[in-house]
Chains A and B, each alone.
Chain A
Amino acid sequence: MSRSDQTEGLTALDRPNSYIGQSVPRPNLDRLLQGRGQYVSDLVLPRMVHVAFVRSPRAHARIAAIDTEAAKAMPGVVAVVTGRELAAVVTPWVGVLAHLKGLKSAPQHAMAIDRVCWQGEAVVAVLASSRALAEDAVEAVEVSYEELPAVTDMRSALDPATPVIHPDLGDNLAFERNHDAGAVDAAFAEADEVVEAEFVFGRHTGVTLEPRAVVADWNVGERRLTIYQGTQAPHMVQNIAAKHLDLAEQQVRVVCKDVGGSFGIKVHIYADEMATYGLAKLLRRPVKFVADRVESFNTDIHARDHICKGRIAVNRNGSIKAFEIDDLTGIGPYSMYPRTSAIEANQVVNLVGGQYTTPNYRARARVVFQNKNVTCQYRAVGHPIACSVTEGLVDLAARRIGMDPVQIRRLNLIGDDAYPCASPTGLRFEALSHHASLQKLLQMMDYEALRAEQARLRRRGIHRGIGLASFIEVTNPGAAFYGVGGARISSQDGVTVRLDAAGSVTCYTSITEQGQGSEAITAQIVASGLGVSIDRVRVVLGDTDATPYGGGTWASRAAGIGGEAALQSAKTLRGNILQVAAAILQARPADLDISDNAVVDPSSGERKIELSELARIVFFRPDTLPPGLQPEMVATRHFVPRQYGFAFTNGIQASWLEVDTATGFISLLDHWVVEDCGTVINPQLVDEQVRGGVVQGLGAALFEHCIYDERGQLTNANMADYLVPMAAEMPDIAVGHVVTPTKESELGAKGAGEAGTAGAAAAVANAVNDALSPFGVTITEIPLTPRVILSALGRA
């Protein structure tokens, strides 16, 4: 798609020298590549101590006794603190939200007190002058455990014979949602064919380059807690830390400089992070916690781990009549705080079948407790499951009636001219482009030629497959996500833009940067909205003392929400500047514009006054300005979409792969994505976000799996045994765009960060089943390991 197509009709783009729609290099790139990033992991403060945690080796046990005496005597040890001692400064929490009706969880403490509920839960904190000495002393802490039966199999978690993890809750059911729309029973009864399958999704996690890291500094003199943390949501951390440490919000400052990757892992409140805040307050000195890799595997939120039964009703003419699903997921012993662990299942219910026209849809989702690490929101929450189930069923239906997978989608995807409309679960779609996206994808991959090649190779015993996966994606969430449920998680964002005395611009935004390019797109939008060159714009983010209040960067929201706030604040400042310029130039503001760092005559382009000169007058010679004119060289604007609960996007992916039926190995040969995120602010950043997302989806499809044994032990908590996707196994990923800007904002941008992950695994699974179709084999389980493939083929 050409640049003009992508940004057609965009007001900001009509201005000269716009950066919107251009692949502008990220302003933070040189700094990061030169090793001058400011990651919390590198931060050193005077009097700082390091904490290492004694973590439970058992999945479920009563803590009988803790002996810390030997550890306290170890070299370099400053303090050894138990969960009971820490509870004096940190109150427990319960991870529920009011709008998820019936969701329940038990009070969770920063460290275990009487009982541990998963392998890896922190039991004792050891603080020492270095992390190594703290780890030495951890080995000297003696904890006696009385083992309790562990609930590990989600399928039996609700059986009466299974022990209840939190007896006060009555059972192991955290949440259940039922939805019934249209006439499902009649549709299944009347349809020509009904196809069903059980889809199994392995538990996996997000592996960030920089682990979770916190430095907490309690300044007794100021009575203020400064938290340096790699987080996606600084204001949320501020609110939660204040609430549970008995502080007023203004007593907590959260600083978040560079963050080495997040993927949703760093948008939660972790018990060990809360413990670190509390330990700083208890010890009255800075405390640093940096999770190591083993800790990360055991405590960073896990995700997926769903078993979803699905049914589809289809007529022989290809018309899909109904979907029905029954989803089950195990979330660990607590619902995560404060966003809860019911969201993923809730999203599965919301999203299944959402790209298709059938109004008949029934769903049940059950969320159960188990003695494993907690699960919560990770990149593309619920989408990969919904997409794999929906698109897996659609392919099975197509095969049953002998129809090409493209054709059944053409017949059933919601028409591009049908908007606005709503899904059977009541999700409202402003405007989507399923058919245009499908058409573009088929062109990119040359579908017909690929099918011919597949047939040719199959005659030689080479089994290749094509898999399609169309999807819808939740982006730009408003208050409907968390705010309505009572969580103090902002859905609005704010941006302040300031013209400085030398004519440069400083911009403060409440969105955050974890490597995806938030700084870059903010600078692009501000430079374009204001009319200055991008090198004059400096973006400041990640400091609750400095930036406007806002949500941060998660749920594919930063560009769409924070970007619009940036555009509006820049335009407001431009208006302010033109007012002053008009007074200086004795002209009307409407006859002036700003371009290339100067106030210009828009018709001739003549430079009337440089911004640096204007700033000099404003700041140093205000006496020369007309009386009554008060220049305002700072503007702040906020934004949140309110017309739609979410800005839905859509897209479609395709996978082309080969299955070695002798070994069970899958070679990914090619992957294509077409997605519609509305206005594309920076094509390179969007494409790389999509590619990164695809790679994480491919990781789930083939490699990534947190493998627990029946006693609740995570057996592969290291980088040799937990297989992240790596470059050598990745296919080329071609990315195309269809552009349907949202009309809720002037910018028109929707989210793009999760689209890749949403559909990648579904495309691969469908391609594998396509490749194996001569064997009469259908596999609906990921990761698709050689063992799984060989078992299905009866060879291992």
Chain B
Amino acid sequence: MTTALRASAAPSTASGIGPQLKDAGLAALVAAVLLAPILGMETTPGPDGRLTLAFHFDLVAIGVVLVFLGRLALALFLRGRPPVRAREGGAVSAFVSRNAAWFGLAGLAFAIALPLLPFSSRYVIDVATTVVIYVMLGWGLNIVVGLAGLLDLGYVAFYAVGAYSYALFAQWFGFGFWMCLPIAGLLAATAGVLLGFPVLRLRGDYLAIVTLGFGEIIRLVLVNWYEVTGGPNGIADIPRPSFFGFPFTRNPAEGETAFHQLFGLEFSTLHRVIFLYYLALALALVTNLFVLRIRKLPIGRAWEALREDEIACKALGINPTNTKLTAFALGAMFGGFAGSFFATRQGFISPESFTFIESAIILAIVVLGGMGSQIGVVLAATVIVLLPELSRELETYRMLFFGAAMVLIMIWRPRGLLAHREPTLRLGTATGATSLSARGGGP
């Protein structure tokens, strides 16, 4: 094997860059044919309503040159290097993962301090809240995809179940946020079990497409079931959260005390924004603690074992369906929590917020960050939410970037950018049990 590699590497270092040039030329040719119609000829409605074409061959030329140079650079860069298929992440990833606790604490300190920092405007806090929600969704989906290795393309369905159950329970029964939150989580988990039970014995790619279908079914039901969901118009006037019963209003109703009165503050609409931020942060922290903890329990290890080899798991007596079901249900539950927070924050929900693209974004966060990595999810969520905020221009190109990134990451770092995994147990750490070895550990 190594000799074969050396043999293939040797001539390319000796000879010029002829083969690479030819290769890049071919790639450029392919790019030209691919780009010419779609990028080069834009269909636009003409004056009579018929389509006409607007030509952008300058863009095609730029694209072709970029492909040529990119391909050439890649070929020269890879020349002489053996093809490495890194199973683990690199040194940086290992460093981050070993010191996860410190990075986590530093990040948490920053997150807590954020609203008090001088540059924190209402806008900054708003964006930060969005980041935190996506972090939470990423952590929830990470249970399913990263730990249990089940590709769920319909995660947004559980987010929707959470949001709608909050909205409906609040509207019909007048339940408050803290009452609705567990209900939403429970309902989402139930939806996860109902979906999961029949489909979790399917092969991985069938599962992916069934979850995709389920996500769409939920959305289509939301759109079409006017009587309950309000159809495409959605549900408005969802009650806003209160500070444990003290509303964030300037003039509270008779007999009520508003938040600013309680603390003797000047009324400010910022209070509610900050409160929502901390609420999201608290929910996300609960999610994180839960996931960190459960990873080190038998069920968490069984999830990872299932991801590695389902047949071996069966031969060790692990019930694959039940184990997957718990992952699915717990992932769904956190999606439901996030959904009900989303509903109370927006005050308005409609099916538009729960499209496949949303599932794809959450999946991208998990994949890019590193499947199974908690810190990776935070970084990926931050990048993915901030990217369109930096410039509105970028928003259109955001999905283009995600799609390309998902492909490239799978090629270069199949386990994600921060893929280094620390074992959940070490033999060194189990010294507390030495007394037991005297009795003999054998069966």
Q: Do A and B bind each other?
A: no
Which residues of B pack against A, CB within 8 Å? none
Which residues of A pack against B, CB within 8 Å? none
